[in-house]
Amino acid sequence: MNAPLREPTFRESVDIMFNRAVKFMDLSPGLEEKIRVCNSTYTVRFGVRLRGEIKTFTGYRSVHSEHMEPVKGGIRFAANVHQDEVEALAALMTFKCALVEVPFGGSKGGLRIDPREWEEHEMELITRRFAYELAKRDLINPSQNVPAPDMGTGEREMAWIVDQYRRMNTTDINAAACVTGKPLNAGGIAGRVEATGRGVQYSLREFFRHPDDMKAAGLDGTLEGKRVIVQGLGNVGYHAAKFLSEEDGCRIVGVIERDGAIINDKGIPIEFLKTHIGATGGVKGFPRGTYVEDGHKVLEEDCDILIPAALESVINLGNAERIKAPLIVEAANGPVTAGADEILRARGKVIMPDLYVNAGGVTVSYFEWVKNLSHIRFGRMQRRQEEAQNALIVNEIERILRDSGATMGISDAFKSEYVRGAGELELVRSGLDDTMRTAYQSMREVWHGRKDVEDLRIAAYIVSIGRVAASYRSKGL
């Protein structure tokens, strides 16, 4: 197959990938179309009085599929957000949730704004007004439509949104579940901030458990010492780079940001670079590496693993032929266009697809939503009981060792590690790890089990679309 001459848009790319996948499936044309299309998009234009005048903002909330409710998807704040992008992102949410067996439909929101242009109190006014517009139409609602953070938003915005919803729904006992990614003190859950980056790490760990898969990418060994380039040191990229380097021994040899890139073959200390970006606004001037002004070019540098974690369409017809990394891990949504995808596959590259790799965010959002609805912290009932049970075992073993005259006992380090009951953070990590492993295995079964399926992305779509189709069928469609 030849690569398309014109670069497909993000939305077209998602459709092309969907269409490639359904060719391997036995769906009726009607059901296929029902699953592909975006059910609805609400566009809102609202005014806020700022700096002595009324400023008008444009926002969107798209619902791609309501085969399960609530529908779920982040809210993005970016200057170039548009309807097509939000609809593409909403479609990805449908397939992502299905892939990781999170019982939600797909949705997404966007507000056309550059958050860096506004003061915090101004951002609060704008966010609250946007939330009001969405909530009064049930486009924010614990049982129908539950947003979360995405590019340009985080805990702060989610705290404003939940507070706004509460003011409008004073008797809703489940109000906290109207949005996820909230701070802990506003109904959030331990481990949500880093969940997407943590999920990227878990997805790579799972990939590296399968020698055949590594071989397909021309890699071997473990994550230890692997050279990684990351684009975007925001929420997702920062956490992924931090965990991979600090816990798995990866060497981060390149970081690409808005103002350029830093490269260093010996490895870039991520915490130090993050502090530098916080203080100066960019990577330029960072003392522990070489600055490259044309950061985009660094995507083409030699490395083992390339992690685009910023924007869509950054790997496209213009650079796909020059990408050297054998393994591309899509931490961002839609970083590889459909045209580039075809070129990269023809060149034998392995792509771990966005709908799998960055699903850690929505997975932990699901845990947060469940926590909010159950009104109790995970682990609160059983943690101490678990500790008491474990202590019983350890004490008994120690008694037996003592009575039998053994010269060695159980070390204090093992004892405290073993006895400790799981708190919320441990349970969230365990649930996330299990989710990422299980989802990988379901993709992998299709990838290796069917001779006609060449890549993980199409395998992921086949699994997801199959689940969405089953859900529609059970509703009689």
258 binds ligand NAD (CB under 6 A): yes
Q: Please confirm whether the linkage preceding 70 is cis (ω < 30° from 0).
A: yes
**Which amino acid, one-letter code, is at 83?**
Q
**Per-residue x/- marks for ligand NAD, 191-220, CB under 6 A?**
-----x------------------------
CA distances (Å), 119 to each of 81, 198, 210, 282, in order? 20, 30, 48, 19
**Per-residue x/- marks for ligand NAD, 282-311, CB under 6 A?**
---------------------------xxx
**Closest CB to ligand NAD among residues 355, 427:** 355
| Interface with ligand NAD in residues 218-237 (CB under 6 A) | 231-237
Report the alpha-carbon distance of residue 419 to residue 388 in Å, rounded: 8
Give yes or no for a contact between 259 and 282, defined as CB atoms under 8 angstroms apart: yes
Position among 85, 87, 133, 150 found at the interface with ligand NAD (CB under 6 A): 150
189 binds ligand NAD (CB under 6 A): no
CA distances (Å), 62 to each of 84, 92, 265, 323, 468, in order? 10, 12, 43, 33, 18
Shortest Å distance, C-beta 222 to ligand NAD? 26
- Is 108 catalytic? The answer is yes
152 binds ligand NAD (CB under 6 A): yes
333 binds ligand NAD (CB under 6 A): yes
Q: Is 47 exposed, middle or buried (0-12, 13-18, 19+ CB in 10 A)?
A: exposed
Which of these ranges, 125-133, 246-254, 256-264, 340-348, lies near ligand NAD under the rule CB under 6 A?
256-264
Which of these ranges, 132-140, 158-166, 252-260, 338-346, lies near ligand NAD under the rule CB under 6 A?
252-260
Shortest Å distance, C-beta 356 to ligand NAD? 11
88 binds ligand NAD (CB under 6 A): no
Report the alpha-carbon distance of residue 58 to residue 40 in Å, rounded: 17
Shortest Å distance, C-beta 382 to ligand NAD? 28
361 binds ligand NAD (CB under 6 A): yes
Residue among 23, 55, 72, 108 flagged as catalytic: 108
188 binds ligand NAD (CB under 6 A): no
Give yes or no for a contact between 131 and 182, defined as CB atoms under 8 angstroms apart: no
Shortest Å distance, C-beta 4 to ligand NAD? 22
| Interface with ligand NAD in residues 7-26 (CB under 6 A) | none
Shortest Å distance, C-beta 301 to ligand NAD? 14
Report the alpha-carbon distance of residue 218 to residue 221 in Å, rounded: 11
Which of these ranges, 10-18, 147-155, 387-395, 407-415, lies near ligand NAD under the rule CB under 6 A?
147-155
257 binds ligand NAD (CB under 6 A): yes
Give yes or no for a contact between 198 and 248, defined as CB atoms under 8 angstroms apart: no
332 binds ligand NAD (CB under 6 A): yes
149 binds ligand NAD (CB under 6 A): yes
Phi, psi of 61 (to 5 degrees): -140, 115
Report the alpha-carbon distance of residue 382 to residue 278 in Å, rounded: 40
**Which amino acid, one-letter code, is at 7?**
E
318 binds ligand NAD (CB under 6 A): no
Shortest Å distance, C-beta 407 to ligand NAD? 52
73 binds ligand NAD (CB under 6 A): no
Q: Which residue numbers are catalytic?
A: 108
Instruction: Give the footprint of ligand NAD on this chain (CB under 6 A).
Output: 149-152, 196, 231-237, 256-258, 309-311, 331-333, 358, 361
